Structures are given as C-alpha cells and as structure tokens.
Structure 1
Amino acid sequence: MTDSIFTKIIKREIPADILHEDGHCVAIRDIHPQAKAHFLVIPKKQIARLAAAGDEDHTLLGHLLQTARRVAEKQGLSADGYRVVINSGANAGETVPHLHLHVLGGERLKDQFGA
C-alpha cells in the first residue's frame, strides 16, 4: 500500500493543524470542514478502511473512539454534543484510503438519516 495523504501528515511530510498525537494516532483539523468544528482522528497504522480492519485492530479501534471523545471534550464539544462518522468504501463517500474518524460539532448538525 502506498502512503496516503494521512501517512504523509503523520510523517510530517505535509503540514497539518495537529490537535492531538500519541503513539497510536493523530487528530487534525479537517481542511474542508463540514461543521464549525470538524477534526479527524487518524491511526498511525495505515488501514485502508474500517472494512479492512482485522481482529488484531480491536484495541486500536477503541483507542480511536476514546481519542475522539477526549479531543472533542478539549475542543468544548461535549456539552452540546458532536457526531462521529467513519466512511468505509466509495459508496459511503470515502475519499482517502486510510481509516479515519470525522468528528463534527460546534453547531446543530442536520439530520442526514431521516430520523
């Protein structure tokens, strides 16, 4: 698998506004935000998409969600809420073949699911 844009960000080959980094992931501001607050949580391990994650990635996937929660809290999103989205595959809108979580908030989000 060739390096994705996210791998290049992790390697500091491309600049990004990094909100959090640890041994397993980074959180960066999205350069094309879809809400007032929009950041991505990206594993350092390059996994193409959620559907490509294996059983061995169980702990990493939980870490990504916990990181999303912690960064959302630091960004002041916890009180009013936020949305976490993972696109897996072209039909879901995936544009970068590297698993990542979108965290959106800071405003009332549109109901995209008809509920």
Structure 2
Amino acid sequence: SPRWAGPLLFEVMEDSPGRHVLRALSLGVGVVEAPAKDLVIPLRSITAVREDRQDAHGLVFVVRYKFSGERVEILFRAATREMRDTWIQGLCDTIQASRRPSAESMAPSLSTACSEVA
C-alpha cells in the first residue's frame, strides 16, 4: 500500500534551461514526515498519463516518465473521479502543447490540488 504525501499544488512553468516542467508545490497540510524532495517533471519526458485501474475508488492516476534513462512511475490521487479525469485530460493537453513548436504560448492551466505518492 502506498504512503501518500499531503495535498500539493501543481503548476506548469519554464525552468532555467527553458524546458516546460510540471512542478509540485507543498501546501504543508497533512505532512507528518519531512516533505519529499521537490517534484519537477519535464513535460517532454512524460511517456504516459492514465487511470490506475487497480484503484477500487477510481481516484488514482499514473504518470510515467523517463529520468536519467530509467522509467519512473508516480501515482497521483485526485479528490473525485471527475477531478481525476480533468487531471488526465489537462496533463495530456499540456504535454501535447509543450511538444508543439509554439510552446511559449502554452497556458499553465494546472493549478488544482492533488496528492502524490510519497
């Protein structure tokens, strides 16, 4: 059974090398242990965003990406099934926009709270 971090806010931003990344911002709520290191995922490294079919409640979704040549999988838990679907669609749309040549016009549209597995 995964250990869940407290609620986090996410934003799409441009980092110093100019890559668009998904970054987690801690709300400092519900965190019993020391917070995990900052989560920053370059959008172009994301290989899959999908519903976690093993979750009986239908709230969890999976983000897969490559980091240093290795595949990484992170589970996220939304507040409702509708929010999960919104997150999946929003991430897919944002990833596609980041891969277009005019990525500068990409609007950072993901600013909803969600929990990440610790």
TM-score normalised over the length of structure 1 = 0.27
Higher strand share: 2
**Structure having the larger proportion of residues in helix:** 1
After TM superposition, the score normalised by the length of structure 2 is 0.27
